[in-house]
Structure 1
Amino acid sequence: MALDVIFTNGTIRTQDPERPVARALGVHHGRVVSLDDDLAPELFDRTVDLRGATVVPGFHDAHCHLTMLGEALVQVDLRPMTVPTLAELLDAVAAAARDAAPGEWVLGQGYDQNHLGGSHPTAEALDAVAPENPVWLWHNSRHMAVVNTAAFEAAGYPGRTGFTVPEGGSVPLDEHGAALGLLEETARGLVSGAMPPKTTAQVAEQIGAASDVALAAGITSVTEPGLGAPEHLGQSVTDLAAYQLAREQGRLGVRATVMPYLTTLHPVGAQDAPDAADARGDDAAGSPPGGAAGAGGDLADRPFGLDLGLRTGLGDDRLRIGAVKVLADGSLIGRSAFMTEDYAADAEAGVSNAGYLQFPREWLEERLTAAHANGWQLAVHAIGDGAVDVVLDVLEAAQRRFPREDCRHRIEHFGVASDEQVARAARLGVVPVPQGRFVNELGDGIARAMGEPRTRFCYRMRSLLDAGMVVPASTDAPVVDYPPLANIHDMVNRSTSSGAPFVPEERVTVAEAVHAYTVGSAYASHQEHEKGRLVPGMLADFAVLSDDIHTVDPATIRDLRVTATVVGGEVVHGSV
């Protein structure tokens, strides 16, 4: 029986220190079976000539909101590179409203107040350009949004009044007590529920569209960080079913590890109650413990699991459940991440603001400990140094109480961390998941919010590697752009969109950045024995580049192109 295919005449960067470069790679049944002359070419059914091209293992984005990325592809693009001024943003919203039917929602994404004179768009400004349509505009952090009066009215709050701000959120008011239009963090849920719910098929279509653009960028694997709780993260309560549908329809071209959101977990057995919402109590919406879900003893001493409408077929090398995700705090650019000291920009304006936790500390302790005790890997969004302290405390206490081997609990973003916090996280075996691209697209706003000297503790990478930590690579797309080559460029060069250096001492080498995007990301999801290296037995996923990323001028990495992407030995983008 002939083997499937051999790729020859290439510079194949394997990520294997024992055999870092090969010239040929054989594939059978989706996995690497040979390098160089391990097996004779005539044993293979097909031969593909790489014509000297450079090959790297497929990029694995360890923190990419694929469902949100698919959604963003069809929303009004409000990123600074597209609409650099408030006037142009309002023109874009007005154009979308003209194309929409009266009462139809106008949805946009990606605005950054730092490029709009420092202020968010207001409800009144949106009312003027879209008087007959509810408007929802995502901030580029995805931790806040601005909406107009029609959106508030659709949610049952005429005059932008009459609501109660939930814990973990904020709604700035005008002098008359009406909302200005900005909804921060959990306060987004005041209005988001008024939007038409998405069907499983619609979410599956978003996943497919996002998968296509990811493949074109050389991404062969993603970790989707948070599904199933649209009031916090995700598109619908059946997000996992949407992933499975996309897989069955052949639309899920990338390999996906998906994280259910923490509020979707509950005491196992409660799903059999007549009313699942009652069985979960108010905890299902993220309220403090003490409702039905927290009653009857210590939650960590009982089975604690997931009910998201799963069905047979979930869990192969294409689609699998990963860690459980929760947001501990907000964002630096939105100044809602929980800090140990006030934001410098607010302090200069005479305002005391150190951000806040999205959930009470006790709730995080109870739920994360229960998930840890029941075998879940934890992935906790913590950006501010105050939130990092809280999460490290919780992880250390949970492990002390319920010891486990090789947990690899993750801190997503790990945005601001002192030397002591880095050392502590390394000692606890935490996997930090920073985003190099934040430095470029968000760096100027972060530096403005943080001030000196605290900016030097932001989005560290060199320090994490020097502490002995395994660091994956990710973008948090669509918060910033998704192409790995741009992200690697920023990990290596670390300059903002204005050209200013951003903590250059935290730069990493090209080799370290590529390792993070391959081996590091696989390690972060317990998959380093399946992917990340091109050696016999591993998945045959790789990207073909226009030049050798290891030898070009590092200042030109972002100019490289992905000419082909291969998943399981099959060309899924471009040609070779």
Structure 2
Amino acid sequence: MAKELLINGEVITVNANDEIVEAVAIENGKITAVGTTKEILQLQDEETRVTDLAERTLMPGIIESHIHTTMYGANVLAVSCKDPEIRTLAALLQKLKQHASTIPAGQWVRAWGFNETSIEEGRFPTREELDLVTDQHPVMVIRACGHLSAVNSEGLAIGGITRNTQNPEGGEIGRRADGEPDGRLIETAHMELYQLAAHTRDEMREAHRVASAHFAEKGITSIHDATGYGLQNIEALREDAMSGVIAQRVYAMVGALNKPEEVVRHYMQLDICTGEGDEHFKYGPVKMFLDGSSSGPTVWTTAPYTSDSGNYGIHYLAQEELDALFIPAHEKGWQVTAHAQGDAAIDQLLNTIEKALQLHPREDARHRIEHAGLVREDQLQRMKALGVIPTPNPTFFSEYGDGYVTNYGDRAQRMYPLASYYRNGIPATITADCPVADFNPMRGIHSAMTRKAPSGQVIGEDEQIRLLQAIRGYTLHAANASFSEKETGSIEVGKFADLVILDRSILSAEVDEILGIKTDRTIIGGETVYLRSKEPVNV
């Protein structure tokens, strides 16, 4: 926690005037001065550490405003379908078989990041194909969106799923022509089995350790965790943040992938609400799911899909059910949010927020919408009027953009409309929704600026934003979404020294060069949590 001076740099402050300065002084975990190199060097004494940035960028630490920490860490310890070697189902099945040979019988064999459009066969593996992987383990292959999976017969048996099992509300069990389950589980059908396949506490701790290290490597200093396995998962995040297993500051949404309403009701009965905690861990908003995946596609829309005139997606709750959960939560002081991708789901959440604010007026509630994919102009104006903060995912274009055009037609041109948000003074964050997409902030910044799909087509040129706007979305706007803008999100005196040093100047880089920028050092509260170079950084 000694004094350190960082000089001769390109310091992106993200302050009100977007000032670029040369140097920063930090001491006892806080920023104590910002200015020119000459000014900052005047603070040097015998015990001061001086770091020459050599014209590299120093910027506020990245705040990932919607990330599934446990899920990502667990995925790293499983089979990644994003492995470039996995381009066929045969290659996937071989990787699963290899992984099964390394773990005790009875444990789940998991794969993540599956995308049928990237596989040569263009489909999910069947139940019978997964049965050939192992007869000693349940197997689950999770789609990249996290809303669908394919499982083997052992996995179906654990879930009690047979030909006589009815589809759960908000979900579907895939079936063969003869009515037998084919292994595919969609939305709540997947979420229910996913809950049964939850990790042990030791597995969660290891997942958190791995995830935190990977996040630090990309300059991430705070995370808004979007939940996974429910009560146990939320409290595991709290324990691991408090003990230092997770280095980042954690703002934990209160919910679950399966039956989130039960988790919300549990925490509503406790004497806590949004903001409770300390600098390491705070409880965030209560969170529900209102619809499905943008790439599935299963989002809930007011007009049918362009690719399927009879499909409007799926939705989980009636308006009255959402009101009954969120209006009391708002009254008690909770921030509220929900996964709402389609415009019908966004309508539903905005209706609830509007009622809550009318019944129980509250200044600066900062309710959120997670993702807010297919946004209409009238909804954007409602968000502004209600003070709602959306958390869009421009990174999705780089992986799923071509499918958006196919499924949503012209509506894709204004998906995740960052330029419109910022023109209207709506402080939208930028997030990758890891592990749905690559959490590297450089990928997210590039995608926000270019909106390029894998094919190279630009989707919604009018919604492209500038570099400093993208950096603000990843920093100060994200801090604002967790009521922490007075402590983090910009390089200003008195704030935590949560900083990232890049390996070069980002301001002078060409747009496509941003993808190659790396993190040299990540600092949280004045302490280095990641250092790429083993060379001395002092002068």
Instruction: Calculate the TM-score normalised by the size of structure 1.
Output: 0.86
Preserved CA contact (<8 Å) 1:58 1:542? yes
1:357 corresponding residue in structure 2: 315
Preserved CA contact (<8 Å) 1:220 1:542? yes
**Correspondences of 1:333-412 after superposition (within 5 Å):** 333-347=295-309, 352-412=310-370
The one-character-per-residue Cα deviations of 1:43-65 (angstroms, maximum 9, x if unpaired) are 47322222422101101111111
**Once the 2 structures are TM-superposed, how far is the Cα of residue 183 of structure 1 from its aligned partner?**
1.1
1:40 corresponding residue in structure 2: 42
* Amino acid in structure 2 at the alignment position of 1:212: A
2:466 corresponding residue in structure 1: 509
Is 1:284 aligned to residue 268 of structure 2?
no
2:379 corresponding residue in structure 1: 421
Q: Do the aligned partners of residues 570 and 102 (structure 1) sit closer, same or farther apart at CA in structure 2, a change above 3 Å counting? A: closer
Q: Do the aligned partners of residues 19 and 136 (structure 1) sit closer, same or farther apart at CA in structure 2, a change above 3 Å counting? A: closer
Match of 1:115 among 106, 115, 118: 118
Is 1:207 aligned to residue 208 of structure 2?
yes
Match of 1:186 among 185, 188, 200: 188
The one-character-per-residue Cα deviations of 1:183-220 (angstroms, maximum 9, x if unpaired) are 1111124433543x533333122112101100000111
Percent of paired sites with the same residue: 29
d(CA) in 2 for partners of 1:103, 1:122: 20
Q: Do the aligned partners of residues 346 and 130 (structure 1) sit closer, same or farther apart at CA in structure 2, a change above 3 Å counting? A: farther
**Correspondences of 1:553-564 after superposition (within 5 Å):** 553-564=510-521
The one-character-per-residue Cα deviations of 1:411-445 (angstroms, maximum 9, x if unpaired) are 11000011121122122211010012111012122
Is 1:153 aligned to residue 147 of structure 2?
no
1:470 corresponding residue in structure 2: 427
Q: Do the aligned partners of residues 190 and 249 (structure 1) sit closer, same or farther apart at CA in structure 2, a change above 3 Å counting? A: closer
1:278 corresponding residue in structure 2: none
d(CA) in 1 for partners of 2:41, 2:386: 43
1:58 corresponding residue in structure 2: 61
Secondary structure of 1:342's aligned partner? coil
* Amino acid in structure 2 at the alignment position of 1:339: T
Q: Do the aligned partners of residues 44 and 468 (structure 1) sit closer, same or farther apart at CA in structure 2, a change above 3 Å counting? A: farther
Deviation larger for 372-381 or 14-23 = 14-23
**Correspondences of 1:242-257 after superposition (within 5 Å):** 242-257=236-251
d(CA) in 1 for partners of 2:107, 2:71: 20
d(CA) in 1 for partners of 2:481, 2:451: 23
**Once the 2 structures are TM-superposed, how far is the Cα of residue 172 of structure 1 from its aligned partner?**
2.4
1:73 corresponding residue in structure 2: 76
Deviation larger for 245-254 or 402-411 = 245-254
RMSD: 2.5
Match of 1:49 among 48, 51, 55: 51
* Structure 1 residue ranges without an equivalent (≥5): 227-233, 267-282, 287-292, 294-302
Deviation larger for 108-117 or 135-144 = 108-117
* Amino acid in structure 2 at the alignment position of 1:214: F
The one-character-per-residue Cα deviations of 1:310-360 (angstroms, maximum 9, x if unpaired) are 9xx97111211111111111112112111112222233xxxx221111223
**Once the 2 structures are TM-superposed, how far is the Cα of residue 486 of structure 1 from its aligned partner?**
1.1
* Amino acid in structure 2 at the alignment position of 1:136: M
* Structure 2 residue ranges without an equivalent (≥5): none
The one-character-per-residue Cα deviations of 1:139-188 (angstroms, maximum 9, x if unpaired) are 1001111111111122333xx32323221211222222112211111112
d(CA) in 2 for partners of 1:154, 1:568: 45
d(CA) in 2 for partners of 1:43, 1:555: 41
**Once the 2 structures are TM-superposed, how far is the Cα of residue 306 of structure 1 from its aligned partner?**
4.9
Secondary structure of 1:447's aligned partner? helix
Preserved CA contact (<8 Å) 1:264 1:307? no
1:14 corresponding residue in structure 2: 13
d(CA) in 2 for partners of 1:379, 1:219: 22
Is 1:327 aligned to residue 328 of structure 2?
no
d(CA) in 2 for partners of 1:306, 1:518: 33
**Once the 2 structures are TM-superposed, how far is the Cα of residue 500 of structure 1 from its aligned partner?**
2.1
Aligned residues: 526
Secondary structure of 1:238's aligned partner? helix
**Once the 2 structures are TM-superposed, how far is the Cα of residue 474 of structure 1 from its aligned partner?**
0.9
d(CA) in 1 for partners of 2:165, 2:435: 29
The one-character-per-residue Cα deviations of 1:1-50 (angstroms, maximum 9, x if unpaired) are x9622222222111124571222211122110112326832347322222
* Amino acid in structure 1 at the alignment position of 2:73: G
Secondary structure of 2:449's aligned partner? helix
The one-character-per-residue Cα deviations of 1:527-565 (angstroms, maximum 9, x if unpaired) are 111111111101111111112212211121111111111
Q: Do the aligned partners of residues 500 and 165 (structure 1) sit closer, same or farther apart at CA in structure 2, a change above 3 Å counting? A: same
Preserved CA contact (<8 Å) 1:114 1:445? no
d(CA) in 1 for partners of 2:192, 2:180: 14
2:446 corresponding residue in structure 1: 489
* Amino acid in structure 2 at the alignment position of 1:305: M
1:229 corresponding residue in structure 2: none
Preserved CA contact (<8 Å) 2:242 2:280? no
